[in-house]
Amino acid sequence: MLRLVAALPSASNVSILAERYGADNGRVARIIISPTALAFLSFSALAWWFGARPA
């Protein structure tokens, strides 16, 4: 399990720690997913804008 957690982005570790220590895991998950989704969308838009194509 530790190897899987270490492979996750650092923000995902926060969710696991929040669950372990009894914090509001739902709120933490929403805080994590928002910037992750925004980064995915903005990176995809920038790649499209600059004409990146799959290899």
* Tens digit of each residue's pLDDT (9 = 90 or more) over 4-27: 555 556 676 787 888 889 888 888
Q: Does the reported pTM lie above 0.85?
A: no
Q: Please say whether the dihedral angle defined by the alpha carbons of residues 40, 45, 51 and 53, taken in this order, is positive or negative.
A: positive
Reported as a single tens digit per residue, the pLDDT across 20-50 is: 898 888 888 888 888 778 877 887 888 888 8
Per-residue pLDDT, 28: 85
* Dihedral angle, C-alpha 15, 17, 22, 28, nearest 10 °: -20
Give the contacts of 23 (CB within 8 A, at least 6 positions apart): 17
